[in-house]
Structure 1
Amino acid sequence: MLRELINANPIVHGKKERRRVQSTSTNFDEDIKDPEHPYSLEELNVVSEDLVEVDDKHNYVRVTFTPTVEHCSMATVIGLCLRVKLMRSLPSRYKIDIRLAPGSHSTEAAVNKQLNDKERVAAALENPNLAEMVDECLAPTFV
């Protein structure tokens, strides 16, 4: 069954050359696929390097992202993908903070609360459908 897309015609941007964070094992060169489109979050300008803060001294990472539309029903899934990507890439000592860009989503506060609550994240990842969707978005290759 085909579901209707929230943003059927997103603007696609080119990929940029990205930095590598040498002091951690994180590889920021891997892409995360958008849950609805065959493009990466970078290509859709949902995530950009300048909105990724890494503080190695305090073991802290914050990613701020902007959905393609302010009523995006996939915002929580996108944030969950970002969190899981970082959880799999970084040493466990890092605190991960995932946020919507201020004013970028109609339910910004609720989404931010869900994405930064350990129990809610754990419960979401126990849902087989959500876990499969996250794994698909994080697959090393996609077309």
Structure 2
Amino acid sequence: MVSGLINANPVIYERKERRARTTPSAPHDEYAVEPIDQQEIFDHIRDIKDPEHPYSLEELKVITEEAVEVDDQRNYVRVTFTPTVEHCSMATIIGLCLRVKLMRSLPLRYKVDIRVAPGSHATEAAVNKQLNDKERVAAALENPNLLDMVDECLAPSYD
């Protein structure tokens, strides 16, 4: 984790209880594609660790299930996150972690849009532009230091 914390004393929230997934019954078809919903996306990203703290993005309320939008018909997912402070220097890393986790978890057919919540960050437009530019994301993931930081945030915790 990073020293010289931007938000040394973040508010920690209680984690939501995991709900059992329910899948609609459908005729057996080996080529059928099960729809992906808001809960499934949230379950993929809720345990991502904050780059500065030993807490998950859910515990810091950086992400919530309500901030996940899914349009399975159009193969579209949007995750809107809220940094803990408006001058958070880790906002781009957090967004990159969200993008990488979903890139690794979802079928390729999905377009993923990662956004900072409106009004929650001083450089919101610049962060949103970086996080949704394929070339910038690819370049960031070629940087071994950034990739190590992302992988550390995505590593499972065994608490």
TM-score clears 0.5: yes
Q: Distance in 1 between matches of 2:22 and 2:91?
A: 26
Q: Report what 1:11 is aligned to.
A: 11
Q: Does 1:38 align with 2:54?
A: yes
Cα separation, 2, equivalents of 1:109 and 1:28? 24
Q: Distance in 1 between matches of 2:106 and 2:22?
A: 11
CA positional deviation for 1:140? 1.3
- Give the letter aligned to residue 105 of structure 1: H
Equivalent residue for 2:26? none
Match of 2:83 among 54, 67, 86: 67
Deviation of 1:142 after TM superposition, in Å, equals 5.6
Determine helix, strand or coil for the equivalent of 1:29: helix
The aligned length equals 142
Deviation at 1:27, TM superposition (A): 6.1
Q: Which amino acid aligns with 2:7?
A: N
Structure 2 residue identity aligned to 1:118 = K
Q: Specify the SS of the correspondent of 1:125.
A: helix
Q: Which amino acid aligns with 2:94?
A: I
Change (3 A) 1:104 1:21: farther
Identity over aligned pairs, percent: 77
* Deviation of 1:113 (Å): 0.1
The residue type equivalent to 1:119 in the other structure is: E
Q: d(CA) in 1 for partners of 2:68 and 2:157?
A: 22
Query: Gapped runs of 5+ residues in structure 2?
Result: 24-34
In 2, distance between residues paired with 1:98 and 1:90?
Answer: 14
Deviating above 3 A after TM superposition, structure 1's stretches of 4 or more consecutive aligned residues are: 18-22, 24-28
The answer to whether the 8 Å contact 1:33/1:142 transfers is no
Checking the alignment, whether the CA contact within 8 Å between 1:52 and 1:62 is kept in structure 2 is yes
Q: Alpha-carbon deviation of 1:24?
A: 3.5
Q: Mark the structure with the bigger radius of gyration.
A: 2
TM-score, reference length from structure 2: 0.83
Amino acid at match of 2:97: C
Unaligned runs of 5+ in 1: none
Answer yes or no: is 1:93 the counterpart of 2:109: yes
TM value normalised by structure 1: 0.92
2:131 to 95, 106, 115: 115
Counterpart for residue 106 of structure 1? 122
